[in-house]
């Protein structure tokens, strides 16, 4: 039974991309495909002898249902030169960002491109960065054709203005790695040279003692001057600003360690603490490195430039010509095709404009415009190609202004982290203990012991474990979020997340999914009429027709004669002696009817039966999520859309929630500010450009995106739409992560107290320090990693 079920499921999946097959008809070589795009890719690969692609992974492709973009602008040498890495007479090297790279088949196929086209000389994939570096012969294979080759096999490169603008971010060598290497090298060596002293030396070996001491000191010098230099700089800056960060006691500890070691070696009174110094710097540098984790393939700092296309088609007397955006002038006539974005404020000259502004304003339904009306930049045309005349340059258009608005800027967030908070007190207490111990022994009359106790306190209480606790906890949390498709910008943002007490949601695209629509029918249909309608709509491949067929949920075998489809308008069919007309109000000559959203009218015979309305459906698990949040958070909704779904939302949100509609981007920002003035810690959860200001203003901005490679506004975290229902778990887990930091702080304090009890007596031996330091470090690292993962398991993350 199970086997049969599995068999059925297998057949239902597209051979190329693994999506469910909703309509049959695409079949080749006994393989079913979900769409023509997938089948074409299969055929291209089959013809090129690349069947291997399907052998490494099941369903290695990505869905190809989305419309293809126009790449004709790549023929413009001006644009092309900005994209390529290197070019000479014979060959060009270019690096593409290809979001579709996701499995080993992708690597194999892209690195074997030369088999498909011999003019590709070499290609190399960087899987983590999702980049492919391709060397090709541009005399035989123009750049545009190379891009089309990639598009044909389902690997559309993402080319945006920000890529064009990108400055060579290559060879960005991390000096931290070099510092860690040097510190590790010195640590290992100085430890070896300290062993003889720890194990005790015979009388005849004493002559080596000072030699080992000087060698150790030589290893300590680069650690002090090179590896630890950042800590001294940071401590200096923070002292200058009269606030104490954790780098102050760290730098103090490092300096005292070196000075005391140098003093002991030179005066030959002891072996010094160089190995402790090296291990300390080595460990805290590793902590820093762990914290600096970056996402290569996700950008949190995107701006409008990556939202706009690279080029736009300008109509000139000599025909169409792609022009890069920066060269668009007032008065240019531009052509915007279906699914393209309007790059500048322009007047509509020709064509039926139905502009989808959902990303810019939050309105969920396309706005139709009449000839001569101004269309603001940022909208996406749905329907036929339109002609426009540019009235404002890109730099001054509505969207760009919105983005460059002063109020949107200058929100450099300063997250108050636990470590920053605690380090003030820590430093003061530490210094107090050190001076007290020194004073005690000085009064007692032993200056040596006073110096010993003073330095020992500063050495032993050096907050190495404390400096490691939050990087290790939070980076473990970061990778757990990452696994659950929640991409947080940095570790400080997780701590910020734990302080949040107010959640503000956007509506369109955030709590509703642009991919899922639900359909409603106003009117009444008999079963027979349903069958007629089904027979009609079945013939159309328009997404709305498919939705209607799904909604009708009847089967019919009524033969259809004289079926006609009018793109963008509707369709007619004759069947069972009746004429069925389905389409827009204009198409059915109904006249103006006040409706919202996409509306499809139905007429059977002479009678108007009613109309279908399409709405974005709520994301899966929305009600449960809100229910989870209710007891612990204030919940609000601010939408740029109208309030037509207020009743449905009232049922989901608690009664205390503010549900505000028709808000402009600036008003959204203002609302967030108002909540903050009430002393709330606000998290904004939005998706579009209209939320950009609010996302930045809020204490924490989370952008929801169904495809993380697509454009999302600048924010602190990006949430994949799939994981939307886990949001409450994410918030709870962030609180636990902070709890782990507090606990590990307790542990490191315990170690400090043990160490201090010896240190204030002035009897700390180098061996004691050399053992205590690594032990406390290892304890903290393993404790934080284990506890964080344990909490994650409890939240089922």
Q: What are phi and psi of 335, to 5 degrees?
A: -110, 125
**Strands, DSSP E only, in 57-214?**
84-87, 91-97, 120-126, 131-137
Window 636 to 665, contacts with other proteins (CB under 8 A): none
Q: Find the shortest distance in angstroms from Cβ 713 to other proteins.
A: 29
Q: Find the shortest distance in angstroms from Cβ 441 to other proteins.
A: 37
Cβ neighbour number for residue 49 with a 10 Å cutoff = 10
CB distance 208 to 260 below 8 Å: no
DSSP string for 667-698: HHHHHHHHHHHTT--EEEEE-SGGGHHHHHHS
> Total binding residues for other proteins by CB under 8 A?
25
CA 16 from centroid of its chain's CA atoms: 27
Tokens of 340: 């393209």
Q: Check binding of 181 to other proteins (CB under 8 A).
A: yes
Q: Find the shortest distance in angstroms from Cβ 271 to other proteins.
A: 16
What three-state secondary structure class fits 84?
Answer: strand
Going from the C-alpha of 561 to that of each of 177, 399, 543, 571, the distances in angstroms are 73, 49, 22, 12
**Which string of x and - marks every residue 193-212 that binds other proteins (by CB under 8 A)?**
x--------------x--x-
Q: Check binding of 482 to other proteins (CB under 8 A).
A: no
**Which string of x and - marks every residue 388-427 that binds other proteins (by CB under 8 A)?**
----------------------------------------
Q: Check binding of 178 to other proteins (CB under 8 A).
A: yes
Cα–Cα distance, 653 to 115 (Å, whole number): 57
The two beta strands, 131-137 and 120-126, are antiparallel
Q: Find the shortest distance in angstroms from Cβ 264 to other proteins.
A: 20
Tokens of 227: 């590896």
Q: Find the shortest distance in angstroms from Cβ 219 to other proteins.
A: 9
Tokens of 711: 């454009």
Q: Find the shortest distance in angstroms from Cβ 464 to other proteins.
A: 23
Q: Check binding of 55 to other proteins (CB under 8 A).
A: yes
Q: 463: part of which helix (H) or strand (E)?
A: none
Q: What are phi and psi of 319, to 5 degrees?
A: 105, -175
Q: Check binding of 225 to other proteins (CB under 8 A).
A: no
H helical segments located in 387-417: 398-404
Task: Specify the residue, 167 or 606, whose C-beta has the smaller distance to other proteins.
Answer: 167
Closest CA to 55 of 6, 104, 126: 104
H helical segments located in 225-273: 229-240, 247-267
Window 530 to 559, contacts with other proteins (CB under 8 A): none
Q: Check binding of 232 to other proteins (CB under 8 A).
A: no
Of 41-49, 188-196, 338-346, 425-433, which segment contacts other proteins by CB under 8 A?
188-196
Q: Check binding of 111 to other proteins (CB under 8 A).
A: yes
Q: Check binding of 56 to other proteins (CB under 8 A).
A: yes
Q: Check binding of 578 to other proteins (CB under 8 A).
A: no
Q: Check binding of 189 to other proteins (CB under 8 A).
A: yes
The residue within the footprint of other proteins, chosen from 142, 188, 568, 621 (CB under 8 A), is 188
Longest dimension (CA), the chain: 117
Q: Check binding of 68 to other proteins (CB under 8 A).
A: no
Q: Find the shortest distance in angstroms from Cβ 54 to other proteins.
A: 13
What three-state secondary structure class fits 153?
Answer: coil
What three-state secondary structure class fits 584?
Answer: coil
Task: Specify the residue, 196 or 597, whose C-beta has the smaller distance to other proteins.
Answer: 196
Task: Specify the residue, 188 or 568, whose C-beta has the smaller distance to other proteins.
Answer: 188
Task: Specify the residue, 127 or 436, whose C-beta has the smaller distance to other proteins.
Answer: 127
Q: Find the shortest distance in angstroms from Cβ 540 to other proteins.
A: 43
Task: Specify the residue, 204 or 317, whose C-beta has the smaller distance to other proteins.
Answer: 204
Binding site for other proteins (CB under 8 A): 52, 55-56, 104, 107-108, 111, 125-129, 171, 173, 177-178, 181-182, 185, 188-189, 193, 208, 211, 215
């Amino acid at each position: 039974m199970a086997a049969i079920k599995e068999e059925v499921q297998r057949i239902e999946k597209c051979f190329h991309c693994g999506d469910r097959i909703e309509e049959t008809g695409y079949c080749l070589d006994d393989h079913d495909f979900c769409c023509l795009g997938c089948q074409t890719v299969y055929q291209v690969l089959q013809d090129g002898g690349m069947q291997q692609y399907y052998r490494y992974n099941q369903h290695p492709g990505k869905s190809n249902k989305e419309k293809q973009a126009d790449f004709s602008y790549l023929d413009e040498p001006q644009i092309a030169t900005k994209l390529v890495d290197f070019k000479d007479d014979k060959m060009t090297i270019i690096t593409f960002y290809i979001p579709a790279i996701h499995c080993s088949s992708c690597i194999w196929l892209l690195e074997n491109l030369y088999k498909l086209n011999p003019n590709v000389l070499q290609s190399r994939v960087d899987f983590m960065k999702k980049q492919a570096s391709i060397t090709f012969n541009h005399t035989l294979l123009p750049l545009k054709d190379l891009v089309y080759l990639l598009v044909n096999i389902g690997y559309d490169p993402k080319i945006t203005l920000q890529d064009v603008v990108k400055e060579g971010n290559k060879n960005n060598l991390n000096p931290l790695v070099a510092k860690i290497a040097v510190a590790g090298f010195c640590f290992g060596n100085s430890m070896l040279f300290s062993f003889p002293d720890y194990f005790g030396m015979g009388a005849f070996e004493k002559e080596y003692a000072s030699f080992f001491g000087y060698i150790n000191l030589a290893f300590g010098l680069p650690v002090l001057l090179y590896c630890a230099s950042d800590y001294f700089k940071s401590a200096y800056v923070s002292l200058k600003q009269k606030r104490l960060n954790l780098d102050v006691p760290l730098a103090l500890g490092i300096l005292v360690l070196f000075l005391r070691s140098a003093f002991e070696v030179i005066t030959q009174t002891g072996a010094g603490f160089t190995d402790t110094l090296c291990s300390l710097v080595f460990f805290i540098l590793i902590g820093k490195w762990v914290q600096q984790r970056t996402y290569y393939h996700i950008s949190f700092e995107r701006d409008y430039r990556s939202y706009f296309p690279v080029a736009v088609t300008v109509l000139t007397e000599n025909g169409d010509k792609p022009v890069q955006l920066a060269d668009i002038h007032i008065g240019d006539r531009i052509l915007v095709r279906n699914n393209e974005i309007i790059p500048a404020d322009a007047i509509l000259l020709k064509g039926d404009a139905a502009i989808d502004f959902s990303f810019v304003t939050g309105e969920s339904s396309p706005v139709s415009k009449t000839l001569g009306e101004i269309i603001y930049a940022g909208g996406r045309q749905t329907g036929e190609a339109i002609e426009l005349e540019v009235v404002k340059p890109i730099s001054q258009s509505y969207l760009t202004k919105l983005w460059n608005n002063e109020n949107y800027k200058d929100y450099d967030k300063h997250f108050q982290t636990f470590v920053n908070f605690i380090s003030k007190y820590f430093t003061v207490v530490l210094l107090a203990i050190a001076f007290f111990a020194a004073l005690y022994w000085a009064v007692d009359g032993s200056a040596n012991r006073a110096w010993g106790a003073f330095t020992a306190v500063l050495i032993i209480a050096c907050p190495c474990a404390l400096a490691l606790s939050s990087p290790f906890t939070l980076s473990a949390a970061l990778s757990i979020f990452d696994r659950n498709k929640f991409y947080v910008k940095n570790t400080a943002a997780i701590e910020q997340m734990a302080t949040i007490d107010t959640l503000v949601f956007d509506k369109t695209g955030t709590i509703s999914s642009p991919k899922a629509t639900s359909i409603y029918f106003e009117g009444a249909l008999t079963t027979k009429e349903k069958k007629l309608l089904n027979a009609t709509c079945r013939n159309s491949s328009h997404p709305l027709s498919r939705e209607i067929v799904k909604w009708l949920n009847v089967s019919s075998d009524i033969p259809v004669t004289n079926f006609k489809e009018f793109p963008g308008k509707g369709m007619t069919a004759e069947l069972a002696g009746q004429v069925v007309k389905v389409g827009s109000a204009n198409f059915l000559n109904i006249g103006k009817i006040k409706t919202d959203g996409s509306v499809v009218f139905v007429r059977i015979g002479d009678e108007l039966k009613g109309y279908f309305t399409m709405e974005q459906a709520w994301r899966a698990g929305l009600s449960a999520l809100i229910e989870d949040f209710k007891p612990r958070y204030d919940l609000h909704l601010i939408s740029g859309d109208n309030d037509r779904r207020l009743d449905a939302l009232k049922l989901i949100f608690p009664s205390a929630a503010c549900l505000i509609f028709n808000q402009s981007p600036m008003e959204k920002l203002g609302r967030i500010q108002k909540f903050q003035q009430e002393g709330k810690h606000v998290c904004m959860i939005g998706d579009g450009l209209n939320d950009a200001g609010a996302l930045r203003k809020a204490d924490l901005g989370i952008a929801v995106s169904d495809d993380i490679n697509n454009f999302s506004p600048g924010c602190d975290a990006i949430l994949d739409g799939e994981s939307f229902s886990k949001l409450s778990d994410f918030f709870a887990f962030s609180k636990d992560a902070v709890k782990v930091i507090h606990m590990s702080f307790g542990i490191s304090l315990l170690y400090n107290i043990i160490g201090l009890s010896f240190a204030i007596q002035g009897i700390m031996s180098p061996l004691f320090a050399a053992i205590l330091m690594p032990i406390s470090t290892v304890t903290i690292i393993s404790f934080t990693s284990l506890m964080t993962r344990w909490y994650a398991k409890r939240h089922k993350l």
